[in-house]
Structure 1
C-alpha cells in the first residue's frame, strides 16, 4: 500500500532521532489527517505529545505545499494544559517538530505567567501554535473580535483531560469548545488522557454527548505494556495495636539504601507538613546529603520549584521529597525510583506517581510503599491488585454548573456580545448542560440583565444589556474589567480565626470542619474543649466547655479519602485474611499478629459480614462500625446514624472516623440490637435524614461562597488588592440568606445544596454503601477492651489533646496495658 508522503516525513524524522513511532502514534496521525476527532489514552512518558503535534504540523504541510517559501501567519492550533508548569516542555516538543521540518511555524504560551508585553505582542500577531490553560482560553474569548482570532484554527488538543474532567475547569473547557466548534468549520478536537476508568464517557464529555463530532471520532488506546513493580517496606517487628503515625519515620533507615542505589529518587508525601518533616529528618540523620536532596511542594516559590525540576534533569540531586506538585506530566528521565510515604487513597494517584520513575517507553517503573501505620499495608496489598488488574477510578463529570455558565455568558457579552438562540443551541450540546430547560435558560438570561428576582432594585447586579436586535452585550467598561480579572473556577478554601466570645485569640482552623458544627457542639482544639457559639465574619466564636463529648477537627491534608474502586479492593484484601496463609499476599501475611489478636478480641469480617464492636472505657461507651468505605462516606454515615438513633431515644454522640470505620462515643450504653431491628442503615428517606443530620445549611452556605464568586455575584478584588475572605463570606452569606428567605427557586442557591450532597458528602456512594451493608449479616461483638481494628480510631481522639511526644508515651502505656490483659 502506498504511503502518504507526509507519513514518510514523520517516519524519517523519527528515524533521525533513532526512534521508531509506536502503533498508537501512527493511528492518531492517520485518524487526525482523515478529519476525525478523538481521545488518546496512553501512559505517561510514552510519546503522547508527538502523537498529536505531528499530525497538526503534517496537516499544515498538506494544505500549504509551498510552506517552505510562504508562511501565512495566524492561529492554527491550540494545546490546552491544566498545569502552567507543563507548558514549557510542550512548547519544546512543538518547536522541535516545527523547526526540524522547516515549517516556520511559531509556538507561543498564554497563561497566568505570560508577561503583559508578550500578551500585547500576541494581540497583534498570534503564534501559529498556542499552548494555554482553560482560564486563558476564556480570557481570549473575552477579547473583542475573538472570532477572527480563532476562525482558521484547525485543531484543539486538551492535554491531561482526566485532570480537568470531574472539576469545574472541565466544564469551563466544555463551554469554550462549544463556541470554537461554531467559529471554526474545520476544527478537530482531541483529548489526551492517562489514568482514567470511564474512557468512553470522557470522550462524550469532551466532544458533546449527541454531537456530530462524537459520531466522527475515535478512541485510541496505546497498548504499551508498562511494567509497574510495587515493593512494600515491611517493618521487621509488627505491633499488635496499630496507630496512625507510629511507623513512618521509624522506617527511615529502610529508605536510605533505596536512595543510595538509585540515580534519583522521588519521595512522595500526601501533605506539605509531612514533606517538610521528612526533608528535615533525612538531613538531620544524614547530613552528608546536604546539597544533594531538595524539597518540592505548592507553597514553595516558582523559581525554587523550577530550579529543583532542572536539577533533577541534570542528575545533580540524589533525592527530592515532594507532594502532588510533581504528580503530573513532568518528564524526569534520571528518576529510577519512587517512594510513596503513606496511602494515596486512590489508584490513579498511585499509578501516576509510580509512572514518574522509568519515564520512558518500555522501562520498568519501581515504586516502594512505606506505611505510616500497620493497617496501611492492607492498602499496599490492594494497590498490588490494582496494578495486576489494571483497575483505575472513574472521573465523574459535573452537571448543571450554572455558576460557570453565567461566567461564560458574561465573557461572551464582554467581548462581542451573543444572541440567545445561537448560544443556547451550543450550550445544550455540551455534556454538562445537555438537560438545561428553556425555563432555566430564561432565568439565567434574566439574572444577567436584571440581577435575580430579589436583587432587581440593585443596579450593581445588572451587568448585561439587551440591544434592539436581541444582542446581549456589556457596555460598562468597569464591569468588563472586573469580569476579566475574575475569569476562572478555582476558589481557595478559607481558614477561620478561632476566638473566645470575649475576644481572646486561640488560632486558625479550616472552614471545612467548622461549617458542619451547630451551636452548642463541642470540639477539641489547641488542647482545649471548646463550645461552638457562632461564625461571624470569618471568626469562630467559642467558649470553654467541660463536656467530654467532643468532635476532633478534620484537617485538609488528612481529608484524602478512599475512592470507590480503592474501597472495594481494600475490602477484598481484608477479607483475604481468612484465606489459607499460602494464598495471602506478603503484606497480609505480615499482619498476622494483628489479625490473630483481632480474632481473639473480636472477628476479622468475611465478605458477607458487617462488624460492629462495643466496649467501655473511662471516656464512655464506644460503638464502632466497620464499612471500610473511606472517611468521607464514614463521616456522612456516622452523622446519619447518630441522627436516626436520636429519634429512638434522646442521646448525644461524639463522632470519630477514619478510612476503615467510624465511632459513636456516648455516656450512655446503646442497644445495638435495636439499631439492627429498626433497620437504621436503610436508604429510605436518605436525602431528608442526611440534611437533618448535618448542618447542611451551613455547609451549603460555604459552598455558595464559591458559586457566588464564580458566577460573578461577588467581586474578589483587583490584583494585589484582593478583598479579604471575611468580606467575601459576609457578602455571600447575606445573598444566601436573601435567596433562602425570598427566592428559594434561585438556581445558584439550589446549586449550593446539590454540590454539598453530590460532591462533598458523596451521597451516591453513601447510598450504595448502605445498600451493600443491608445485604450483609450484622455481627455485634461486645469487647472487653479496644481491638487492633478500633485502636487507630481511639488513639486519633487523643491526637488533638496531646503533643506528639506525650501522645506516643500515652499510647505506649495503653498498648502495654492491653497486652497484659
Structure 2
C-alpha cells in the first residue's frame, strides 16, 4: 500500500479525512522543499508537517538514527506533541522511537540520549543548542533530514527566534539537504515569517495556507450595570458569579488571565465563592513546579477538572479535547492572543472554538467588541523579526567554540546565512570575534573574559572552567533570580521572584500555587513555608506582566467608536449599545477619541490642573510621549508635572494652574529634535543600564551561578552595573553597550511606533476641549494618578466616591 494511502487510512479510523493543505505539505516535502504551514488551530498542522518524513521513512528512504527534529517554544507542548506523533507512527506501523529533551528531562535520560538519539526528538531551542555544542554533534545530526519549528510565530521577533535561526544554520551546514518547516496559526506577516525560517540557505520554499475556516465565537460577559466612569486596577471580580455560571454550564473550561498574579487571585476568588468546586478547579502558570503542572495537565486531559485558571503557560498548541470553552479575564490586548486562546477549545477539525470575554472595566467591553470585528476582517498582528542581536551572536560564537571543530570562516558563513545576521556589518563581526578572544575593549586585561582561542585555525574554548560555566548559561530567557518555594516537610511548590520574597518577614502570609502560605524562613534562595488559614496577605507579582494594546486592536477600537459616532443603530454591537450611556456622556463633555483627530482635554479637578491626550497608541508609546510632552511643556511654563499613562492615552498633572492652546499643542507634538528630547526627558542612562543586565546575561558577561548556587538578584545587578559603568567610561564604542541603548529606544519606548504616532498626529486636526468635569475616558487616568499618592484601600474608596460624584 502506498505510504500516503496508509496515512489516509489511519485518518479514516479516527473519522478524519486529509485536508488539501496536509496533502500539499506531504507532496512538497517529497519534492525536497522547505516551507511554512499557516492554518487555524486544531485542524491538523502537526500531521501535515510530520507526514512528509513519515512517508519518506515508509518508502524505505531513511536510515537509522536521528531523522527528525521537532523544536517547540514551550516545554508544556513537548509531551502533547510527542504523544500525537507517536499515535500516528503506531497507526501507520512505523517503528520509530520518539523522545523528549528539555531542561526538565532527567539527567539519566539526557545521558542516554548523549550516547544514542531517537529517530524523532522533540526539544526546545536551548536544549538543541546544547546538543550542538558537543564535539560529536556533526556525527549525531548528519542524518537529520527535517527540522520542524512549532508555533513559529512565538519564536519570531524574539531572541529565542534568533537562537533557533543560528541552530538551523549549523544543522544546514552539517546536512545541506536539510528541509526546514514551520507551523503557525496566528501571524500577520506570513511571507516574512517564511523568509526568516528558511534563511539564505534554502533555495526553494513554499507557503502553505490551510484554508479551512475555523469558527470562533466571541461573547462578552456583561455586568447588569456598567459604570459610566470606569477605573482600572480592580480585577473584574464583580463578574465572578457570571464566570462561575459559565464554568458550571460546560464540561471543562480554561480560564485565561494575563498575569500570574491575576491568575492566583482569580483562583482564590473562585474557590472561596464556591468551596465545593475546589477539587474540580486547578491552577496553572509558569512559576509552578513542573510536577504540579504535569499533574494539572493530566487531570485536564482525562476530563477530571471542570476548570483550570491559567496564563500563557497553556496558550500554545496543547490539545486538551475535553475543553469546551475558554474564558478570558481582561482584555487580551491583541487579536492574535485572543484567537490563540480561543483555539484551546474545540481543538478538533470542524469544531467551533468558544471564548467568553470578562472585562475588568467598562472600556475593556469596547476592546472585546473591537477584537471580534477585527477578527472578521482577518486583521492579525505581525511579528517583526529582530536584527543583529550581538549578545545572542556572542553567545553562539562561544557555544560553537565548545564544539571544537569549526574555523572562523565556516562559522561566519553559517551566521551570515540567517535572516537575523545577513546584513551584519563586517566591523561588528570582527568586534565580536575580538571580544570573545579578549583582544579588544576594557576587559582584555582580565583572563576570565578571554573565552575563545584558535588552535590550528579551529575555534576552541580557552579553559574547562569557562566551558562548564557557559553550558549552564546557554539560552536567551532572562528574568530576575527566582526563589524556590518549598513546604516545610513537603514538596516544592514552584518559584517566585527574589524581589518579592525579600520584602517578607517570617510569619507574613501570601498566596501562591493556589494556597494561603506563611513564610517560615528564607535562606539560600529557598523560601520555607507552611500552609496557613485564610488571612489577608499579598500576592506575588512578576516582571513583564502587562502587554500594551496592539496597533491593530487600537485601530479596531477607534473604528468601533467611529461607528457609534455615526449613529448606525442597526449596525452597533451589543457591547456598544450597553456602553451607550458612557459614550454619550463622553460626547456631551468632549468628543469620542478616534484616530481621525487628536483629542485633548484639559480640566481642573481638586485643585490640580490636568491635560489628557488620547493618541490611542498603546501603553509603551504613551510612556515615551508623556515624558516627551511633559519635558517640552516644562520648558515653556514653570511647571512640575506628573505623568500617568494607559493604553488609550496619557495625562499631565500639576498643582499649579495652567492652560494650553492649539498652537502650544502643535509644538508639543512636533517631530523636530525627537531623539534629542527623548534622551533629555527620560532617565535613559538608568533605563539602558537595566536593559544591559539582560544583554550581559545572554552574552555571558555575567554568570548567574551553577544549579542550586544561583547568585542573588543584587549580585547579578551589581556585576552588570559595574560592567556598564566600565564600558560607559572606558569603552564607549563597545557594541553591547550600544545595543543596550538601541534596545531601550525600540523595545521599551517603541521608538518606531512612537515616531509613526507623531507622524500621524501631524496629519490630523486637533480637538482641544476644556471641560468642567472629567470625561469617562479621562477618569481612569486621573484615578491612576491618585493611586500613586494614597494607599490601595483609601484609593478604592476615594475613586468610588468620585465616580458617584461625576455621575451626579
Say if 2:96 is the partner of 1:105.
Answer: yes
**For 2:557, which of 570, 580, 593 is the aligned residue?**
570
Residue matched to 2:513: none
Aligned partner (choices 162, 172, 190) of residue 181 of structure 1: 172
2:10 paired residue among 9, 13, 16: 13
**Distance in structure 2 (CA, Å) of the matches to 1:459 and 1:280:** 52
Judging changes above 3 Å, is the alpha-carbon distance between structure 1 residues 494 and 302 closer, same or farther for their aligned structure 2 residues?
A: closer
Unmatched tracts of structure 2, length 5 or more: 484-496, 501-540
RMSD: 2.1
Take 1:558 and 1:573, find their aligned partners in 2: how far apart are those partners? 27
Q: Are residues 1:491 and 2:478 paired?
A: yes
8 A contact 2:23–2:48 mirrored in 1: yes
Q: Partner residue of 1:297? A: 285
| CA shift in 2, pair 1:290/1:705, >3 Å | closer
Query: Is the 1:244–1:796 contact (alpha carbons within 8 Å) kept by the matching residues of 2?
Result: yes
Shift of 1:557: 6.3
1:727 to 712, 715, 727: 715
SS in 2 for 1:450: coil
Question: Is it true that 1:308 corresponds to 2:296 in the alignment?
Answer: yes
Q: Quote how far apart the aligned CAs of 1:803 are.
A: 4.9
SS of corresponding position for 1:339: strand
Is the CA contact 1:621–1:665 (under 8 Å) kept in the aligned structure 2?
A: yes
Superposed displacement of residue 607, structure 1: 4.3
* 3-state SS of paired residue (1:333): coil
SS at match of 1:14: helix
The answer to whether the 8 A contact 1:247-1:374 is kept is no
SS of residue matched to 1:266: strand
Q: Aligned partners of 1:599 and 1:110: how far apart in 2? A: 58
**Residue 578 of structure 1 contacts residue 606 of structure 1 at CA under 8 Å; is this kept in 2?**
no
Alignment of 1:224-623 (within 5 A): 224-245=212-233, 248-467=236-455, 469-493=456-480, 556=543, 559-580=546-567, 581-623=569-611
After superposition, what is the alpha-carbon deviation per residue over 1:339-391, rounded to whole angstroms, capped at 9, x for unaligned?
11110111111111111111111111111111111111110111111221121
Q: CA deviation at 1:804?
A: 4.7
| Alpha-carbon spacing, 1:605–1:732, altered in 2? closer, same or farther (3 Å) | closer
Deviation at 1:212, TM superposition (A): 4.7
- The aligned counterpart of 1:521 is none
2:23 equivalent to 1:26: yes
Distance 1:446 1:328 in 2: 40
Deviation of 1:667 after TM superposition, in Å, equals 2.2
Aligned length: 755
Alpha-carbon deviations, 1:3-33, whole Å to 9, x = none? x922222222222333211111111100001
> Per the alignment, in what secondary structure is the counterpart of residue 375 of structure 1?
helix
8 Å Cα contact 1:634/1:658 also seen in 2: yes
Moved more, 130-139 or 242-251: 242-251
Q: Please show how residues 745-784 of structure 1 align to structure 2 within 5 Å.
A: 745-784=733-772
Q: Cα distance, 1:673 vs. partner?
A: 1.6
Q: Distance in 1 between matches of 2:85 and 2:804?
A: 63
Q: CA deviation at 1:650?
A: 3.4
Q: How far 1:97 moved relative to its partner?
A: 2.8
Deviations along 1:478-510, whole A, 9 cap, x unmatched? 1111111110001104799xxxxxxxxxx9979
Write the distance in 1 (CA, Å) between the matches of 2:362 and 2:356.
15
Indicate conservation of the 8 Å contact 2:416/2:422, yes or no: yes
Contact preservation (8 Å) 1:228, 1:387: no
Query: 1:527 matched to which residue of 2?
Result: none
Partner of 1:253, secondary structure, is helix
* Contact 1:452 1:746 survives alignment (8 Å): no
Which consecutive residues of structure 1, in runs of 5 or more, have no partner in the other structure?
Answer: 497-506, 511-553
Check 1:417–1:742 CA distance in 2 against 1; reply closer, same or farther (3 A cut): farther
1:555 Cα offset (Å)? 8.0
Q: How far, CA to CA, are the matches of 2:265 and 2:148 in structure 1?
A: 39
Match of 2:133 in 1: 142
Check conservation: 1:294, 1:308, Cα contact below 8 A. Answer: yes
Offset at residue 204 of structure 1 (A): 0.8
Change in Cα spacing, 1:9 to 1:351, as seen in structure 2 (3 Å) is same
- Return the offset for 1:121: 1.2
* 8 Å Cα contact 2:595/2:615 also seen in 1: no
Does 1:642 find its partner at 2:630?
yes
Partners of 1:677 and 1:143 in 2: CA distance: 60
Residue deviations 1:687-744 (CA, integer Å, cap 9, x gap): 2211211111111111111111111112111111012221221111111111111221
Q: Which residue of 1 aligns with 2:110?
A: 119
Contact 1:645/1:675, CA 8 A, preserved across alignment: no
* Alignment of structure 1 residues 691-702 onto 2, 5 Å: 691-702=679-690
- Partner residue, 2:525: none
Find the aligned partners of 1:640 and 1:598 in 2 and give their Cα distance: 27
The structure-2 alpha-carbon separation of the partners of 1:152 and 1:246, relative to structure 1 and needing over 3 Å to count, comes to closer
Counterpart pick for 1:51 among 43, 48, 51 = 48
